[in-house]
Amino acid sequence: MQHSINIEGIKLYAYHGCLEEEAKIGGNYIVDVYITTDFTEAAKTDDLKKTVDYCAVYEISKAEMAIRSKLIEQVCQRIFDKIKSDLKGIKTLHVKVTKLVPPMNGDVEKVSVEVRS
């Protein structure tokens, strides 16, 4: 059986970007994580150890977002890799990092990147 665990709208403040100003003032980001797994045993036993702990997903996202990068592509890949290596039982993983109001020569609401398996 296949089940989904979705952690959406992880709101974080971070200092990513190619511009010096971004390193100093930072900006708002949203991380979304989508996991397919089999939590049949967890559903039967009510045991957190039998599923993917979404609090751990949040902590990984928060920790990786705290490490400055010029590109959100690198941040997204780091979050993906860390979740995949640290958490067991993941069949597929999809991580999306969104940068709100990026500094561009135009009115742009957000830019996002995604990594999927």
Distance CA 98, CA 29 (A): 5
Q: Which of 82, 84, 99, 110 is catalytic?
A: 99
Active site residue 91: no
Q: How far is CA 67 from CA 4, 22, 79, 82, 107, in A?
A: 28, 13, 11, 13, 27
Q: Would you name the residues annotated as active-site residues?
A: 99
